[in-house]
Amino acid sequence: MKKVELIQPRHNYAPSFSEEPIGHVYMPTSLLTAGARLLEAGVDIEIHDENIQPKRISSPYVGINLLGAPYIPIAIDMQKEISAETRNDAVYLIGGQVASGLNTSQFRLLFGQSAYNGNNDATLAQALGINSSDLKSPEATSLIPAYEKLPDASMKQYLSREFSLYVSQGCKFLCDFCAAVRSFRDPSTGEFRRVMESYRDPEVMRGDLEYLVGKARKFGLKKLDIYMSNLDVFQSPPELLEFAYAVQSVKKQNPGFDIKLRGLSTVDSFVKAKSHAGKPIEELIEAGFNTVGFGIDGMTPRVWRGVNKGINTKNKCLEAIRSARKDYGLTPEVLMVFGHIGVDTEETLKLANEFTLDMIAKYGAVPRPHVAKSMVPGNKGWSDPENWFFVDVFLKHPEAFQALDFTALPSELTHPLSQEFRKSVTNYYLEMCKMPGNTTLPTKPITPNLSSEQIHEIKSFNEGRYDR
């Protein structure tokens, strides 16, 4: 039986293992999903989370999970390390959504000829010599077999902190700066791909949650803090209701045990869900939902239209945040991705800042500011021929992918048009990071023009500055 070593790389802002054994501990749900599907297909797996323990590789098949573009240089270094320490004929399966944001030539340039996109079932099956039909769909796959591969010590670490539960994937909206699985029009070809939210089987989710609650109780824990994987929680009310009922059922079977849920929502879907039959908001709250992060991402119609987020209006934003707090007792989070090239101005940045302050004062909203990055593998800007010069810079200098972190300050690589604009975005971003309740820790970007001493200083500054 083939065996794949699945690795969650240490967080790019974690200190070295020799300095601090524990990095940023967060259950690698996407990696576990891939592992569960491989087990179902008859492939053995071993899971290594370098935030908890250093890896020890014994198989020629190695899977590496990328939790965003900043992990690309980490994966490249890991390949070199594994090849040097073990063998030169290892087969690498690179996963995580960012891997699918690269075209074939970009993928090969970064990861080499012995690497495969682990998100593509046909490619994965070819690399492992199995039939792609043996890979059950993610929506129908229970994660319990993968959970059981984890040592109890690791599982206790995960369940003692907030962790992601795979509930759904996909979004029908087309926000340009987003690199997740969503509806998308390729600017280089004009091809349109419509994506609808896809939920997991509710009985599979119920079984997974029952397992996790059982493990938590075994460890003496009395609650689970869950971040729902949905890109837009209230996008599909009928399926959301089924999920809410499944969670309620698990809670009823475990009296005295609490489950808390948090997730993202567009203001459009939240406002519409208020009038939907079956009352999805109320039922989700009954299941334990207590915090909703609204994608505001600007504060003028021009900005929203400019980034393909025309579903937003100021009135919808105000009503969603007001209603979340006043009607339902939820904690609203203001997700403000701003500093969009070509559409944001000094005035719109100021309005976004003032709106966030106002929502904090009126409704106790939690600010979550991030700097827009118009070129991220998988988003519109990465595919736009106008940006190919900058894309080429990233491909030739992989360490610069860290600059694409949405917590990183703007740089001449991500905001190249105007030094004055970069300064304005920086100032408003740092001001928002100082607001009461802010959860975002700003980081400094790495760019190709820096010396090794400067890069070392930036890495030292960024240590421990994990985003929520």
The answer to whether residue 275 scores a pLDDT higher than 90 is: no
**Residue 229 domain-assigned (yes or no):** no
Q: What is the mean pLDDT of residues 207-211?
A: 98
Comparing C-alpha atoms, which of 361, 358, 363 is closest to residue 331? 363
**Residue 193 domain-assigned (yes or no):** no
**Residue 104 domain-assigned (yes or no):** yes
Tell me the two tokens of residue 437: 């309740």
Tell me the two tokens of residue 55: 């890896």
Rounded to the nearest integer, the mean pLDDT of the chain is: 95
Reported as half-sphere exposure (CB side, CA atoms, 13 A), residue 322 has a value of 9
**Residue 372 domain-assigned (yes or no):** yes
**Residue 450 domain-assigned (yes or no):** yes
b/e sequence 31-54, b meaning 16+ C-beta within 10 Å: bbbbbbbbbbbebebbbbbbbbee
The answer to whether residue 130 scores a pLDDT higher than 90 is: yes
Instruction: List phi, psi (to 5°) of 264.
Output: -100, 150
b/e sequence 287-303, b meaning 16+ C-beta within 10 Å: bbbebbbbbbbbbbeeb
Query: Per-residue pLDDT tens for 223-242?
Result: 999 999 999 999 999 999 99
The answer to whether residue 102 scores a pLDDT higher than 90 is: yes
The answer to whether residue 118 scores a pLDDT higher than 90 is: yes
Quote the pLDDT of residue 185: 84
107, 140, 173 - which closes a domain: 140
Task: Note the pTM of the prediction, 2 decimals.
Answer: 0.94
Quote the pLDDT of residue 87: 63
Query: Per-residue pLDDT tens for 49-97?
Result: 999 999 888 889 999 999 999 999 999 999 999 887 766 688 999 999 9
Query: Per-residue pLDDT tens for 389-422?
Result: 999 999 999 999 999 999 999 999 999 989 999 9
Q: How many domains would you assign to the chain?
A: 2
140, 169, 190 - which closes a domain: 140
The answer to whether residue 172 scores a pLDDT higher than 70 is: yes
Tell me the two tokens of residue 446: 């790495």
**Residue 188 domain-assigned (yes or no):** no
Can you give the residue range of the structural domain that contains 47?
Answer: 3-140
Quote the pLDDT of residue 170: 94
Per the DSSP assignment, residues forming a β-bridge with 169 are 198
Give the CATH number for residue 66. 3.40.50
Cβ atoms of residues 197 and 231 within 8 Å: yes
Quote the pLDDT of residue 181: 87
**Residue 180 domain-assigned (yes or no):** no
The answer to whether residue 334 scores a pLDDT higher than 90 is: yes
Quote the pLDDT of residue 95: 96
Please count the helices (runs of H) and the strands (runs of E) in the chain.
18, 15
Q: What is the mean pLDDT of residues 20-38?
A: 96
82, 105, 140 - which closes a domain: 140
The answer to whether residue 105 scores a pLDDT higher than 70 is: yes
Tell me the two tokens of residue 277: 């039959």
Lowest mean pLDDT among 6-10, 108-112, 176-180: 176-180
Q: Measuring CA to CA, how many Å separate 360 from each of 81, 438, 467?
A: 47, 10, 20
**Residue 20 domain-assigned (yes or no):** yes
Distance CA 171, CA 175 (A): 10
The answer to whether residue 315 scores a pLDDT higher than 90 is: yes
Quote the pLDDT of residue 462: 97
The answer to whether residue 128 scores a pLDDT higher than 90 is: yes
